[in-house]
Structure 1
Amino acid sequence: MTPAIDAHVRLDTHPTHPSAVQAVLTGSQAHVAVMALEAADWSAAATNVLVLARIDHEEPYWAADAAKHLIAEGITVEITPRLQEAIDEEWTWANYPMPWCTRSEIRAVSNQAQKIHDDIRHGQLLIHAHAHDGHTTIAVGTYLHPSGKSVYLHGEDHLRQIADIFDSPAKALLAFEKAHSAEMHPGPAPLTDTDAPPSKRAPSATSPQPSPNPSALSRRPSPSTWPIPATTTRSSTPSSKRTASSKSGAPGTTTPLSPTTNRSPCASSSTTTPGPVTRSGPSPRTKHRSATACGT
C-alpha cells in the first residue's frame, strides 16, 4: 500500500475563467503535489495554488486524470460537486469538421494540438513563417531540440495538426513558399483569442463572460472551428455559428505539400448514429448521450 503523504488537493472550477480548473494545496508536504501537477502542465498562480487552462477546454477530463495519479501516490484529493458535474458531462464540438471521429479520437486530436501549442509557448518550436489558406492558418517551424525536425502545421487552436515533416528548415521553407508564396508572412501568426493568455483574451460572442452563477462556471466556450485539409469529402464549411453538426459538407481545398500530407487523424466510420442536439445558452456546444458516436 502506498504510504500517505501529508498533502491535500482541492480541485474546483476556476472562479473567473470558463472551463479552467484550479487546485488549492495544503499540508506539510504540499510541495510533492505541486511538483506532480506542474509535471502534468498545471501552472502556478500563487503559493500552493495551481491552474490548468487548455486550448481545447478539456480541463475537467485532465483534472480527473491528474486526481487519479495523485491518489495513486498517496495524496488526498477533493473534487467539488460542480467540477465533478463538469467531469461527468458528455459533450462535443458543434460543427466539428471531422464528424466521423469518436469522442476519444476528438480528444486525442485536441491533445496533440495542445502539445503543439505548449511547444510554441515554451520556445521549443520556432515558427518561421505563416499564411492563411482561405480556411485557416498554416505555418512552418522547427523543433529546437537536438535532431529536431521541421514541421508544416495546419489549423488553429484545438484543431492544429502536424501535416508534414521535413529533415531541415531549408526544405520546409522551400516547400511552404512554393505552395503559399502569395499569402506567406514571416514569423508566427497573430495569437487567436484562445491562444492568448486568459488575462489578455478579448470578450467575444462565443466566449461566455464570468458569471456569479456557479453553474455557469463550468460551461465551455466554443471557439471557431475550421476544416482540416483532406482529400475526403467529409469536411464542413467553416461557420461562426455553432449549430448541430452534419456529416455532409464541401470538400477542403487546401493544396497538400506532398502526396502523404493532410491525412485525417481519425479513422472513418460507416456507423450511422443519431444526430447531436445543440444545447442553447451562453455556451453553444453539443451535448451527447452515451449512446452516440462521440460518447466514451
Structure 2
Amino acid sequence: MHAQHAALDRERTWSDDTTHAIHESQTLRIEHVHEAPAHETTWTVAAYETPVSDRMWVLTATGATPAPVLQELLDHLADGDGWDTAIGAPVDEKTVTTATQPLSDAGWKHTVDGRWIRWTSPLGDAGVQFDAFTAQHPSQNLATWTVWAGPGPDRPAWTLTASPNTPSSLLADLSETLAHGTGTRHPRTAGREHRTSLGTTPPATPAVAASPATSRSR
C-alpha cells in the first residue's frame, strides 16, 4: 500500500455481533452489524471534525442494501474526497442539484410535495427523497435524504438514509449508481435467503486516504 494511504483499522466486538472500521485519524467510523434483519439498519457511517467532536454527518443502510451500492459508498470513502463538509449551514439548492444531477440526467421523475422533494426512477422501482424542512437544521443528525429501492416507497426492499451535512459528492456517486439501475431489481424471496440473493455480503473494506485527516488540521 502506498505510503500516503492509511487503511481503516478493523476491530470486532467481544460478541462478534459487530465490526467497526475506524480511520487512523479517528474522524471516520464505520459500523457493521452482523446478521441484522434485512429491513433494519446494518451499516452506519459517521464522520467527525475531530476525534472528540460531535458528528458532522451520518449515513445508514439497511441489511438488504445490495453489495454494489455499499461498494460505491466504500470506494468513495477510500478516495478520501469529500469527507469534510460545511458545518452549521443549511443545505442549499446547489447542494441538492449536485447530489441528484445523475438522476435528472437519467430522466428520473422530479416532484415537489410541500417539504418533500422526490426523484423516482422511470420504472418506479427506486427513488430518492429530500426533506427540505429537516435540511434547515444541519446541527442535528436527522435523516434528510432517503434512498429506497423495491416495490414502492412504503414497501422498500432496502433503504439508505443520510443527514443534512452528508457530502453532496458522496450522494452524487450513490445517485449515479442508482441511475444505472444498480440495486433496483429484487427477486421475490424473503428472510435470510432474500438478503443473500441481493448480494449483501460485506465488500472488503478498502484503504482510506489519509489526506482528510490533514485537511482537518485547522
What is the TM-score with the length of structure 1 in the denominator? 0.22
Of the two, which has the highest radius of gyration?
1
What is the TM-score with the length of structure 2 in the denominator? 0.27
- Kindly indicate whether structure 1 or structure 2 has the higher relative contact order, using CA contacts under 8 Å at least 6 residues apart: 2
